[in-house]
């Protein structure tokens, strides 16, 4: 009887935890980066090297870039 009760309660809980309902998917901004590192190869000293990183917001709310701090 005890085993049966455990099965009745535990199995639906496991199913709920493993397969959350669609409406409960993580919401908010979602940052996706095309690349995190860029190799500019060889350059002569004195040149200014520039590179643009592309980023995407795959979320459902605006993604804010709060700060970019070169270091």
Partner 1 sequence: MASYDKAIPPGGEGRITLRVRTKGYQGKIYKSAKVNTNDPRLNVVRLRIKGFVKVPIYLSARGVYLRANEGGSVSKSVEIKAGLDRPLTLKPIGFSVGDRVSYRIEEVEKGKRFKIHFTSLPGPPQNYKGFLKLKTNYPEKPKITIKIRGQIAKNVKR
- Interface residues toward partner 1, by CB under 8 A: 26, 28-31, 33, 36-71
**Residue with Cβ nearer partner 1 (4 or 43):** 43
**Residue with Cβ nearer partner 1 (2 or 52):** 52
Structure tokens at 18: 């493993």
CB of 25 to partner 1, least distance (A): 13
Please, which residues have CB within 8 angstroms of residue 29's CB and are 6 or more apart in sequence? 57, 59, 61, 62, 63, 64
**Residue with Cβ nearer partner 1 (2 or 51):** 51
CB of 11 to partner 1, least distance (A): 30
């Amino acid at each position: 009887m005890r085993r049966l009760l455990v099965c009745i309660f535990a199995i639906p809980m496991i199913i709920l935890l493993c397969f959350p309902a669609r409406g409960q998917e993580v919401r908010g901004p979602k940052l996706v980066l095309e690349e995190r590192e860029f190799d500019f190869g060889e350059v002569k000293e004195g040149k200014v090297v520039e590179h643009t990183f592309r980023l995407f917001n795959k979320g459902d709310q605006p993604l804010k870039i709060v700060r970019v701090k070169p270091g």
